[in-house]
Chain A
Amino acid sequence: MKISIGPISYFWERQKVFDFYKSLEETPVDIVYLGETVCSKRRELSLDDWLVIADQLSKSGKEVILSTLTLIEAASELSYQNRIALNERYTVEANDMATIHNLNAKHSFVIGPHINTYNKATLKLFSEMGGCRWVIPVELGKETISTILQERTPGMETEIFAFGNLPLAFSARCYTARAHNRPKDSCGFICVDYPDGLPMFTQEKEPFLILNGIQTQSVAKQNLITLLDEINELGIDIIRIMPQAEGTIEIIDLFHKVMNGEIQPTVALEQMEIFHSFGKCNGYWFGDEGMVWIDKTNKQNKSFDSILE
């Protein structure tokens, strides 16, 4: 299995973005997804900046994919993702049907996690349109994935969301601006103050969700590190790790060591506890609620880790 790094979901300052990708060059990461997928107002980097980073990563031996925006409404958003779709250098991850339309079956593309591919017929259809890799929607469990993968679509790789806050929803409304009583159109780019998103708590003061501009994420980190053997057995080719404001390199290292049999998954998990201060989850894999943590060795041991911690 290969390791990929998903696109940065938060709004980071320009230099932090450059530093982050520089730091990936010496890691065992195979694939890096670049670009803004959440909010078109986040323009610390231009497409040319992203292409500079892409070239550097490419030189250091990484496969580079350019990701596109998930919610496309305005004409400016449409034309920006079209420029990405038509770039001649790198494969594109489509997160909206508009991008697939613009690729026009002429270029192969990655079917992003926000394209709803829930069955074999849909996967086959996208394959015929040029899809070469399928990032599994986060809701799908191993039974479903296993059935879909029984008849492998030729030339189609499969990638799973293995570490990070689950991207759960998108809206026209910006919740970070709302939290500051600002309208979206004059948000003051407040997201830059929250490099890991803005946590939201229930009235019992339990952490629940992360507000990230127009995106809503799980507060718990999905972590599939104890399930890598099952993931491998199913024939999944790539595990995706999401960029974290801190600790991404250590997380990559732990996944890599488990994949190489250098340490036990449970040991790696213990070492990762500092990275899930709001809890961890893996319920979707088992076909359960996404927010629960299920101990693989004891299926009955289902707990709301994010709440109990």
Chain B
Amino acid sequence: MYTIDNKIELICPAGNLPALRAAVDSGADAVYIGFRGGNNARNFPGLNFSPDEAKQGIEYARKNGARVFLAMNTFPQPEQWQSAIDSIDTAAELEVDALILADPGLMDYSRKTHPELRLHLSVQGSATNRDAICLYHEQFNIQRVVLPRVLSLAQVRQVIKEVPVEVEVFGFGSLCVMVEGRCSLSSYVTGDSPNTAGVCSPAQAVRWKETEEGRQSYLNDVLIERYNKDEPAGYPTLCKGRFYVEDNLYHAIEEPTSLNLLELLPDLMKCGVKAIKVEGRQRSKTYVAQVTSVLRQALDACFENPELYIADKQWITQLNSLAEGSCHTLGAYHRPWQ
């Protein structure tokens, strides 16, 4: 939907009730959460909501003028099917503001069983073009698509002009360099992937080894990264280590860095992006509060006066200090990155 006067919604992550309250208090327009268990893409130990906690979260958000979206964005296999549709029924009972789904079978179930429930197509649905998005709209009546982090700004602009649904993009957080929903690297090494279990490079597969060459991080038996004594060690996300290609050692896939679209906000607003999403349901409430607060200020400033908007240096510094690798990138939105 192409509208010039587009106030962009800020969609923030919450892995538990304190994080949800922090997001709402810091200015999120909506918070996205997941139920416990393997049916959402942040299936981490100690994280996520029981139905009762979700209810409390929804009450808190509504009281403060915010909405709550529920993400169920894995692709359930037969043994997970019943629990997945039970979760959809629960989400409908809780009257969540939107359900974020990736699996066509689940979307079909939701549409037929709970036609009143608003559906968003998850980033895991891998819809990167007009015709794919139209299919999800026609088949399942999705009202919004979350775009994979692979499109350039020009491509985002084109998609928005051509699709009959709202478009949400990732604005800040860890950067997935692969097309979401189309990456099995994690299950290749660890047995579990975002599609099958809602995890990437899961903690139970992480091993550390101190060697003469430095501290080494592994996923199962695969060496992901080796750190010198003075280098800070990061989490061994599979695609963010240094590897050899033709005898050159470098970040062959991607550096450990965060996506940050602060400087693109006026462009995103002009092209009609409906909402910006922050990655990080696994993060602390402090992180959520800080990121939400900076993005709230930035979005408000941009909406007030898009022509004069400049991404404040202090905001960038603050976000970099929270970011993976303490630095940021525009990712695929900026064509030379590709």
Q: A-side interface residues toward B, CB under 8 Å?
A: 70-75, 77-78, 82, 96-102, 114, 116, 118-126, 137-140, 143-144, 147-148, 166, 168-175, 178-179, 183-185, 198-206, 208-209, 211, 216, 218, 283-284, 287-291, 304, 307
Interface residue tally on B, bucketed by range:
35 or more
Tell me if A179 and B252 are in contact (CB < 8 A).
Answer: yes
Known: A140-B77, A148-B78, A179-B252. A72 touches B129 (CB 8 A): yes
Q: Would you call B76 an interface residue if the criterion is a C-beta within 8 Å of the partner chain's C-beta atoms?
A: yes
How far is B133's CA from A44's CA once the two chains are assembled, in angstroms?
Answer: 30
Q: Name the CB-closest residue of A to B128.
A: A73
- Tell me if B243 and A208 are in contact (CB < 8 A): yes
Given A166-B184, A202-B243, A178:B252 Cβ within 8 A: yes
Chain A residue contacts of B201, Cβ below 8 A? none
Bound-complex Cα distance A163 to B99 (A): 38
The answer on a CB contact under 8 Å between B195 and A125 is no
Main secondary structure, interface of A, reads mixed
Within the complex, which residue of A96, A118, A204, A288 is in contact with B132, where a contact is CB–CB below 8 Å? Answer: A96
The verdict on A139 contacting B81 (CB below 8 Å), with A122-B103, A173-B338 known, is: no
List, in ascending order, chain B residues with CB within 8 A of A175's CB.
Answer: 252-253
Q: Report how far A124 CA is from B105 CA in the complex, Å.
A: 8
What residue in chain A is nearest B226 (Cβ atoms)? A203
B residues adjacent to A (C-beta < 8 A): 75-79, 81, 102-106, 108-109, 126-132, 134-136, 138-139, 149-152, 155, 158, 177-179, 181-185, 187-191, 193, 195-196, 216, 220-226, 239, 241-246, 248-249, 252-254, 332, 335-338
Instruction: List 18 A–B pairs whose Cβ atoms lie within 8 Å, in order of A's numbering.
Output: A96-B129, A96-B132, A100-B135, A116-B102, A118-B76, A121-B81, A121-B104, A122-B75, A123-B105, A138-B184, A147-B77, A169-B183, A170-B179, A173-B177, A203-B242, A203-B244, A211-B245, A211-B252
B178's contact among A148, A170, A174, A288, by CB below 8 Å, is which?
A: A170
A284: chain B residues within 8 A (beta carbon): 187
Whether the pair A78, B179 counts as a contact (CB closer than 8 A) is no
Interface of B is mostly: mixed
Q: How far is the CA of A144 from the CA of B195 in the complex (A)?
A: 14
Given A179-B245, A206-B223, A166-B179 contact (CB < 8 Å): no
Say whether, besides A139-B193, A200-B243, A173 and B337 are in contact (CB < 8 Å): yes
Assess the B336–A71 pair: CB atoms within 8 A.
Answer: no
Instruction: Note all chain A residues with C-beta closer than 8 A to B75.
Output: 116, 118-119, 122
Contact check, B185 vs A168: say whether CB atoms are below 8 A apart.
yes
- A200 with B195: in contact, given A116-B75, A125-B104 (CB under 8 Å)? no
- The answer to whether B223 touches A71, judged by C-beta atoms less than 8 angstroms apart, is no
Q: Which residues of B contact A99 (CB under 8 A)?
A: 131
Given contacts A72-B129, A98-B129, A147-B79, contact A203 B243 (CB under 8 A): yes
Find out whether the CB atom of A288 lies under 8 angstroms from the CB atom of B191: yes
Contact indicator B245/A169 (Cβ below 8 Å): no
Contacts of A307 in B (CB 8 A): 221-222
Of all chain B residues, the one with the shortest Cβ separation from A141 is B77
Contacts of A204 in B (CB 8 A): 223
